[in-house]
Structure 1
Amino acid sequence: MVHPHFLLHLAIILIVAKYVSALSLKFKMPPVLGMILAGIILGPSGIDIVKTDIVIEWLAKLGVIMLLFSAGIETDLGQMKSQGKVSLLTASGGVLIPFGLGIGTALYFGKDIFTSTLIGTVLTATSVSVTVMTMIELKKLHSLEGTSILGAAIIDDVMGILLLTFVFGLHGGSGNITIAIVKIFAYFAGAFVFGFFLFKPILRYTKKLNVEAGVLAVALALCFFYAWAAEKAGIAEITGAYIAGLFIGQTRHKRTVREGVETLGQSFFIAMF
């Protein structure tokens, strides 16, 4: 249900987000930290003057999708390939360590093996979006460290989904595991084939139409399509948006799309997230 004062809440969120970001920078802190603290204070855990409703939730979802889309556009694919081994090892540690500690702790407190495994699996989850936002604000996205961390976060997300699928599959039958794994791999195969062969001609044709902001609109449509397909395959929407951004970043329209997405995102949608 839409809150009767949701426009006022939007105004408060936008103003507070930008002023708190500026204050955070003065104290040499990532603006995202200030925005998280402001959200806690303004929300139900604090003074409770900003209410979330379906509109704000959807705007926040669009914000995080656009954030990862922008990060994908900015990513140096060659550098990411060179850091693949580091990212894989980092992601493996980020999954296996909390998974093992979660199981061990739950068993220690008397939980059964399925519950313990489920708790361990839940602890493998990471917030890719906060990581990306922090690196962008610290201007570390293009560094070797930033590329490794971002690659690890994306791999971690996929590994976490596969692990969760495996755990529930063991509980509900091996057929569930097979179907889920096939869907995930089919998505990645389709996404890479479509992105590699069709993104450039689609954007090139759109450019010839000479429609105002046509390239940006079509690029956003491709981003949302990839995010939707990822969700249907059982993967996080933001992973799909990031992959779409990777392919947009390989076209000559990279700068146009990046500037448009950053303007839309930073001025409105990302603040909602």
Structure 2
Amino acid sequence: MEYLIDLVLILLATVLFGKLFKSFGLPEVVGQLMSGVILGPSILNIVQTGKIIGTFSEIGVIILMFIAGLESNLELLKKYLKPSLIVAFMGIIFPIAFMYIAGFFHGFSNIESLFIGIIFAATSVSISVEVLREMDELDSTEGITILGAAVADDVLSILALSFAVSFFGVSDGENNNIILTILLQIAFFIFVYIMYRIILRFLPIIINKFKFGITEFSMIVCLLLAYLAEETSLSTITGAFFAGIIFSQSDFKDKISNDFETVGYSIFIPVFFANVGLEMEISGILNHFIMFIIFTILAVVTKLLGSMLGAKMSNFNSISSLEIGAGMISRGEVGLIIAGIGLSSHLISEDYYSTIIASIIATTLIAPIILRKVILIKREH
């Protein structure tokens, strides 16, 4: 039952450090991320990520992205679909190109260098979502573009991953066929659309006639779409986000939002933020310190500039483009997952795997600070 005291320590630390960092004018989520770094193997080493903590963390990010979808404006998402695609594409090209060059100069093979680029091409918007919510920017044109670009980024990054594993990786027994991956993802999005039409039409009947609790029903749909997204090689957060979009069009939106926030922020979401910090090990920084610094700087700069250029190409002004670029910096759990796949497929070496993980987490810690600062600058103009 040690996991119970681990949860107590995590919840206590996320509250205290969240409020402490907020008092210094920093995003509360950075304090929650740092609580994991402090409790974990990097500093105090009194809490380790494990099966139960990991499961709570996964549920937390699913709930967080469901809430993000719930609070999004579907019409604005449709309106800014094209800019989102451009931002996602440019935000992938820059990291792949420059991280490939960095890997090459560190003596890595062409395949290793390419895969490192793919790892850092991924975006995990879950951290940015928390900052956008805190700053009331989630439903702004910039916030909507970030969300749309993150979904597109997820699809493009997974396709790049599938291509790399199919052509260069050592099979682990799973089917890595890129054509099959594309077909499964198309089937997933068709299923999401069918669910959207069915739920909007029959939701009042389900709730009123069959006495089905709206929160319980929306949770079932959320977890189902998260599961199906993962089964089609997308991330769970993409499925959860689309589940939120579906229920954002219903008359029960406010009740669902209140209930999910109560459940999520009471335990699951804080555990997710802390778990990101728990993943960091100081050895990943000390063993290859120069590589860690270069990868972290390039990860931040290439994603920022690439996404910013994509926003400028879509006629956003400079400060809005900067906000969109900042919102795409975080790699979070998506980067960690892709790195793990690369290791198991022998596309990256164990020698520098921990350094890549440390760089991903460092990027995730830096991203919300930059995003909050940019939003404050925008409000001053």
TM-score under structure 2 normalisation? 0.67
Pair 210,21 (structure 1): closer, same or farther in 2 beyond 3 Å: farther
| Equivalent residue, structure 1, for 2:148 | 151
In the other structure, the counterpart of 1:203 is 203
Counterparts of 1:77 and 1:148, CA distance in 2? 12
Matches of 2:133 and 2:4 in 1, distance apart? Answer: 28
Quick check: 1:23 aligned with 2:20? yes
What is the Cα deviation at residue 24 of structure 1?
A: 2.2
Distance, in Å, in 2 between the alignment partners of 1:112 and 1:25 is: 43
Q: Tell me the distance in 1 between the aligned counterparts of 2:208 and 2:164.
A: 50
Q: CA deviation at 1:12?
A: 1.5
- List runs of 5+ in structure 2 lacking aligned partners: 273-381
With over 3 angstroms needed to count, the CA separation of the structure-2 counterparts of 1:90 and 1:42, relative to structure 1, is: same
Instruction: Tell me if 1:53 matches 2:38.
Output: no
CA contact (8 A) 2:14 2:270 kept: yes
Please give the alpha-carbon distance, in whole angstroms, between the structure 2 residues aligned to 1:138 and 1:182. Answer: 38
Match of 2:133 in 1: 136
Tell me the equivalent position of 1:188. Answer: 189
Name 1:233's counterpart in structure 2. 232
Report % sequence identity: 33
Deviation at 1:210, TM superposition (A): 7.0
Note the alpha carbon deviations across 1:108-152, whole angstroms, 9 max, x for none. 334333222212111212222111112112221011111111211
1:245-264 equivalent positions in 2, closer than 5 A = 245-264=244-263
Distance 2:244 2:203 in 1: 13
Once the two structures are overlaid, the 10-residue window that deviates more, 81-90 or 258-267, is 81-90
Is 1:30–1:138's contact at 8 Å kept on the other side of the alignment? no
Query: Which aligned pairs between 1:1-273 and structure 2 lie closer than 5 A?
Result: 4-171=1-168, 176-195=177-196, 197-209=197-209, 211=211, 214-273=213-272
Structure 2: distance between partners of 1:175 and 1:76? 35
Q: Deviations over 1:72-105 (max 9, x none)?
A: 0000111122222222221112100001112222
Task: Give the Å deviation of 1:18.
Answer: 1.7
In terms of mean alpha carbon deviation, does 222-231 or 80-89 score higher? 80-89
Distance (whole Å) between structure 2 residues aligned to residue 14 and residue 114 of structure 1: 41
Letter in 2 for 1:256: K
Equivalent position SS for 1:140: coil
| CA distance in 2: counterparts of 1:74 and 1:34, whole angstroms | 24
Query: What secondary structure does 2:138 align onto?
Result: coil
Report how many aligned residue pairs link the two structures: 268
Distance 1:55 1:204, change over 3 A: same
- Residue 201 of structure 1 deviates from its aligned partner by 4.0
Change (3 A) 1:108 1:16: closer
The one-character-per-residue Cα deviations of 1:13-44 (angstroms, maximum 9, x if unpaired) are 11221222222222221111111111101111
Q: CA RMSD in A?
A: 1.9
Q: Which runs of 5+ in 1 are unaligned?
A: none
Q: Supply the distance in 2 between the matched residues of 1:107 and 1:43 (Cα, whole angstroms).
A: 32
Tell me which amino acid in the other structure corresponds to 2:266. Answer: S
Judged with a 3 Å threshold, the aligned counterparts in structure 2 of structure 1 residues 175 and 51 are, in CA distance, closer, same or farther, namely: closer
Q: 1:5/1:109 Cα in 2 relative to 1: closer, same or farther (>3 Å)?
A: closer
1:238 deviates by 0.7
Query: Structure 1 residue 175: deviation in Å?
Result: 8.2
Change (3 A) 1:63 1:175: closer
Contact 2:17 2:35 in 1 (8 A): yes
The whole-number CA distance in structure 1 between the counterparts of 2:96 and 2:193 is: 30
Give the distance between the partners of 2:22 and 2:206, measured in 1 at CA: 39
Alpha-carbon contact 2:10-2:35 (below 8 Å) kept: no
Q: Which amino acid aligns with 1:221?
A: I
Q: Is the 8 A contact 1:131 1:150 kept in 2?
A: no
For 2:268 and 2:228, the matched residues in 1 are separated by 21
| Distance (Å, rounded) in 2 between the aligned partners of 1:207 and 1:182 | 34
Q: CA deviation at 1:228?
A: 0.5
